[in-house]
Amino acid sequence: MLIAIVLYDRFTALDAIGPYEVLSRLPGASVTFAASEAGPITTDNGMLTVIAETALREVSEPDIILVPGGPGEVAARSGRSVLDWLKKADETSTWTTSVCTGSLILASAGLLDGRRATTHWLALETLVRLGAVPVRERIAFDGKMVTAAGVSAGIDMALALAAKVASAEVAQAIQLGIEYDPRPPFDSGSPERAPAVIVDALRARSRFAEQADR
């Protein structure tokens, strides 16, 4: 079972690495990190570099595709190499997935037209403009398309997918193995529960707010 995780400059690390920690533990799984060109790819904060060992054109017929989000998605969805590869790979994939604003890349490739999908809460309006049907859910399944909300939701999505690919027992064993038992110190992980002043501050400096004003 080949799992292809798509990388591009300025992707968000946990969007890719969180699901990797889950999916790489599936029985028979083989994971490849792939980009337009093989080589080092830097994350959104410039502090971490991940090696894409394979060029996308060298990855044929992956069983699972995973597209992380991050501010670099703007460039990724304005170019053709990633979008063209996604269209082709999706023809034969069993599952095509994304985390956070990775769904904007899938939508730009035309893969989410009329489909229910989620993304980071700040990017939901952009998802509408790209033809998807946005839902305010942590994980959204629509056929073989699976999208996750912001960043940390990728771990939840990967566990839900693991249950479908293997079994609930396998997914639970993976969850226990990585000791995924979140108990955050604050109940501010969603705009519905976070203090309004925090929500407003984050929204004000969001690049999506800037795009909406244009």
My answer on whether 119 and 104 are in the same domain is yes
Active-site positions read 100
My answer on whether 134 and 71 are in the same domain is yes
115 or 209, which is more confident: 115
Domain that holds residue 199: 184-214
Euclidean distance between CA atoms 153 and 125, whole angstroms:
19
What CATH number corresponds to the domain at position 132?
3.40.50.880
Work out how many domains the chain is built from and give that number.
Answer: 2
71 or 213, which is more confident: 71
My answer on whether 149 and 206 are in the same domain is no
My answer on whether 167 and 189 are in the same domain is no
pLDDT band at 49 (very low <50, low <70, confident <90, very high): very high
Average pLDDT, the chain: 96
My answer on whether 98 and 143 are in the same domain is yes
What share of the chain has pLDDT > 70, as a percent?
Answer: 97
Bridge partners, residue 67, by sequence: 98
Residue 211, pLDDT score: 56
What share of the chain has pLDDT > 90, as a percent?
Answer: 95
My answer on whether 191 and 159 are in the same domain is no
My answer on whether 175 and 190 are in the same domain is no
93: helix, coil or strand? coil
Residue 207, pLDDT score: 86
My answer on whether 90 and 156 are in the same domain is yes
My answer on whether 54 and 95 are in the same domain is yes
My answer on whether 123 and 207 are in the same domain is no
My answer on whether 34 and 74 are in the same domain is yes
My answer on whether 158 and 142 are in the same domain is yes
Residue 213, pLDDT score: 39
Q: Encode pLDDT of 105-138 as tens digits.
A: 999 999 999 999 999 999 999 999 999 999 999 9
Which contacts (CB < 8 Å, 24+ apart) does range 158-165 have? 158/18, 158/19, 158/21, 158/22, 158/23, 159/22, 161/23, 161/64, 161/95, 161/97, 162/22, 162/23, 162/25, 162/26, 165/1, 165/26, 165/64, 165/94, 165/95
